[in-house]
């Protein structure tokens, strides 16, 4: 009971602090509240700060169900967003808990950020993380032949490129055939010309910007895709999801959009956390999609 009271008080700070506290302090508080409200969830962090490369930000965490399994579990690699210039895997435990509670082994990687790197540095890090997963995830009960990629915002952009442009995984020594599906939340997939400061900083140096756009690599043989977006997202407009889904569908590849009425860019992510799941059934929809992939 005490934990619930503390969580409700903290939840009030999350809601009341919107627009006052920084985005990252809000996420940290949201993650803490989610942890309090899901203290009895059948999931736990089983590895923390594992290096998948030599750089300081090339580290990842692993979450897994606490119940035993008769067979290796499907794996979800989730890349957080942050305009390619910010973010920290430790703020996203609520994503790891939510997906692990649904039966997946979940990997949350960090990656190098602007201005330390620009495109394709963060995509290369994403590929290196997936390569680590393929080689090591069986130690944590995961199936290296059944990896689902996911992410929010800039993280969805990274995951989409890894799904559609096989040369990134090939360069990292990771066979692309183990990627079973992609679920993107509010991802930028078709955002030329670069108009925001963040996109100019991350991609503006490219003589040819088309390789930075996931839609450039629309492919008939791509894994199934679920592209989720909020109807009032003004940060990454819903047209990104509809454009990629249309390009894939025209090629005969399975791709579907899912719109949440009244949700903005951050809302779709917050809805994964226990305190805000009444906003939209995001975690249910993602799990249903992954479960249906064969």
Instruction: Provide the strand spans (E) within the chain.
Output: 43-51, 59-65, 73-79, 105-109, 142-152, 179-185, 225-230, 255-260
Which residue in 32, 150, 153, 181 is the catalytic one?
153
**Cβ atoms within 10 A of the Cβ of 188, count?**
27
**Catalytic residue status for 83:** no
CA 152 to chain centre: 5
23-37 helix and 2-16 helix, angle to the nearest 10 degrees: 160
CA-closest candidate to residue 145, choices 74, 91, 233: 74
- The sheet with strand 142-152 has its strands ordered as 43-51, 59-65, 105-109, 73-79, 142-152, 179-185, 225-230, 255-260
Please tell me the distance from the alpha carbon of residue 85 to that of residue 40, in angstroms, as a whole number.
34
Catalytic positions, written as ranges: 153
């Amino acid at each position: 009971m005490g934990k619930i009271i503390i969580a409700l008080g903290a939840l009030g700070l999350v809601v009341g602090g919107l627009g006052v506290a920084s985005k990252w302090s809000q996420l940290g508080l949201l993650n803490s509240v989610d942890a309090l409200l899901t203290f009895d969830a059948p999931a736990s962090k089983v590895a923390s700060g594992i290096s998948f490369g030599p750089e300081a930000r090339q580290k990842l965490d692993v979450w897994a169900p606490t119940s035993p399994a008769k067979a290796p579990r499907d794996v979800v690699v989730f890349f957080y967003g942050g305009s390619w210039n910010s973010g920290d895997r430790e703020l996203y435990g609520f994503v790891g808990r939510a997906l692990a509670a649904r039966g997946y082994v979940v990997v949350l990687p960090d990656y190098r950020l602007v201005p330390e790197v620009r495109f394709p540095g963060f995509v290369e890090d994403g590929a290196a993380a997936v390569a680590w997963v393929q080689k090591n995830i069986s130690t944590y009960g995961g199936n290296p032949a059944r990896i689902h990629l996911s992410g929010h915002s800039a993280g969805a952009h990274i995951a989409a490129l890894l799904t559609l442009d096989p040369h990134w995984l090939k360069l990292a020594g990771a066979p692309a055939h183990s990627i079973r599906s992609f679920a993107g939340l509010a991802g930028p997939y078709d955002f030329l010309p670069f108009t925001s400061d963040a996109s100019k900083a991350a991609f503006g140096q490219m003589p040819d910007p088309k390789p930075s756009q996931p839609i450039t690599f629309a492919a008939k043989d791509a894994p199934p895709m679920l592209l989720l977006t909020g109807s009032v997202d003004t940060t990454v407009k819903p047209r990104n999801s509809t454009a990629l889904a249309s390009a894939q569908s025209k090629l005969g590849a399975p791709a579907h959009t899912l719109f949440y009425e009244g949700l903005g860019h951050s809302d779709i992510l917050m809805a994964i956390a226990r305190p805000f799941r009444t906003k939209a059934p995001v975690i249910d929809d993602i799990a249903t999609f992954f479960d249906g992939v064969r």
